[in-house]
Each structure stands twice: as structure tokens, then as C-alpha cells.
Amino acid sequence: MFIRRLEKNGCQGSVTSTTHLEELGEEVQSLHREGLLDKVLYREFAKYYFTPALPKSIPNAKSMIVVAVPQPMLRTTFIWKGNKVQVIVPPNYYDVNKVSWRARHELKMAFEPRQYKLVRALLPVKLLAVRSGLARYGRNNITYIPKYGSFHRLTAFYSDYESSVDNWQDKEALPSCVKCKACIDACQTGAIQKDRFLIRAERCLTYRNEKDSKLGFPEWVGASVHDSIIGCMRCQKVCPYNRDVVDWCIDRGAFSEKETAYLLRGRFNGEKAAKMNKKLMRIGLDLSTFPRNLKVLLDME
């Protein structure tokens, strides 16, 4: 019933039993033991995602519910040297709380008149989505859902709702990934490779340009690699499963020449910085990525 409610309102979802919680964490840990995960990456995310446990706020949780909310790319404009420079923010960066609220609202409405607890879950949501049958993995390790491809955001909840159906299943990849090499050819950092389905996340541009601007980029990340102000869309733009949504983009936000110059200076403090950060948050960004990410895109113009 609640899955039908989600679909009626443009979302998709699935449910699995919390009895698989330990298995979910063990699956990721096994990749670490096999040496398939970068050690730094593992340390950064291990606390929440690789050793998941039921929260104290809902110790009797019976199910894990994962929801996919469709999201387009954002296009924002920076004025620089009298020119309008439009840059892309990929799906999955902005409206984080809004997406979570929407998913929670749809679930609560679907459960009425019964009232079940819904507690936001810090889990490896991509793996949960694939294991629950909601999504399939692409060769680029991004999840794809019917109709919207990779243009979606995932969010998960623990609940005391006990489903009569447990959708736990083996992981499945997109069928065409076996022969298709489009994302391999598009990736300029070597993160996606022919000899393994799991990407080398430490070489993914997304991982690199999400870090604090003070760290800069490794020498092997050339200027021509960048196509978004955060994250990367190269592998997603060429994926055949995104054919129907690849141009799905909405305009949000614009920065004057004065604001652009302020971001490029990279000296942020006081009330002005707070106001700028609030404006950036609407498009899924914050001051930590400036001036590095913006500078490299403006230099390409």
C-alpha cells in the first residue's frame, strides 16, 4: 500500500527486514578485507555506513524502508568578466532535508490511520536500494531506477512497521553494462575500469572535489576533467539508461560579478560569509568548495 502511494506521488520505494542489517554492513566490510576499498575512504565512512546498528530511538525497528525521490540537475549562473557562465550541480546534492521530509510525509500518509515510527537511517543507501530491488547498479557504481535512471536521491528510514513481504535479494546490475563501455570511455580519471565492476572511488573526481578547497587537486586531475561545480556528470551523461532524462535540468540561483569575485578570493568570515553560505546551500554547495572548484571552471571559459 505505501509503495503504491509513493509511486502515485512520483517516488519509488521498497522495504526489507532489519534482520539483514548486520549482513548489510558485513557486505561492505568484506570489500575492505579484500582490499577493494581505499583505506582512507573506509576510515572516513566506517563509523556510520559499514557497521550499521539500530538507533536507541527505535531499538525495536522491524524494517528498513528506502525511498528514491527523482531529482534533476541544477543549473546556476556566475557573472565573471561581463560574461554569464552557467555551471551544473548534479542531482543528489541539494534539498537533502526537503527530500527526506517528502519521503517521510508520503510514508506517514500511506500508513494512516495507523501511526508507525520513522527514524532517518544512516546506512549505505545505494547498497540497500539494490538489495531491496528498488534500484540496480551501473558499472559506475551509481544506482539506477526505472524511468529516472540515476537522476534521483535515496533516503532510508528505520520503522516499527513489520512488513509481510521482505524484498531482500541478490544484487543486480543493469543488463547492458556487461557489453557497454560508455562510462569507462567517459571517465578521465580512471575511476571506472574494465577489469572490475567496483569503481576506484579514490580516483573519482566526485570524491576529490567534495573535499575542502584548501586541499587542492592531485596533479593527475587535469582542468579539462571538470564538468560540474561539485561532483561529476561525465559517466551519467553518456549512460544509455539516462537517455530520457539527460537534459532534465532546472535553473536555480545566480551570482553577480561582485559575489563571484568574493567567492574567488577565498577569504570568508563574518556576516557576509554567513549570508553567502545560506545562498549556496539552496544549490547544495557551501563555502568549503571555494575558490578551488569555481576557479577551475571559470578558467576553462
The rounded mean pLDDT for the chain is 92
86-127 confidence digits (pLDDT tens) = 999 999 999 999 999 999 999 999 888 999 999 999 888 999
- Name the region of 203 (left: φ>0; alpha: ψ -120 to 50; beta: rest): alpha
Q: How confident is the model at residue 300 (pLDDT cuts 50, 70, 90)?
A: confident
161-201 confidence digits (pLDDT tens) = 999 999 999 999 999 998 999 999 999 999 998 888 888 88
- The pLDDT value given to residue 32: 73
269-297 confidence digits (pLDDT tens) = 999 999 999 999 999 999 999 999 999 99
- The pLDDT value given to residue 74: 97
545560506: which residue's cell? 278
Average pLDDT over every residue of 254-264: 97
Separation CA 214–CA 220 (nearest Å): 17
- The pLDDT value given to residue 96: 92
34-83 confidence digits (pLDDT tens) = 776 777 766 666 655 667 889 899 999 999 999 999 999 999 999 999 99
pTM across the whole model:
0.92
Type of residue numbered 214: K
By C-alpha distance, which of 234, 229, 231 is closest to 292? 229
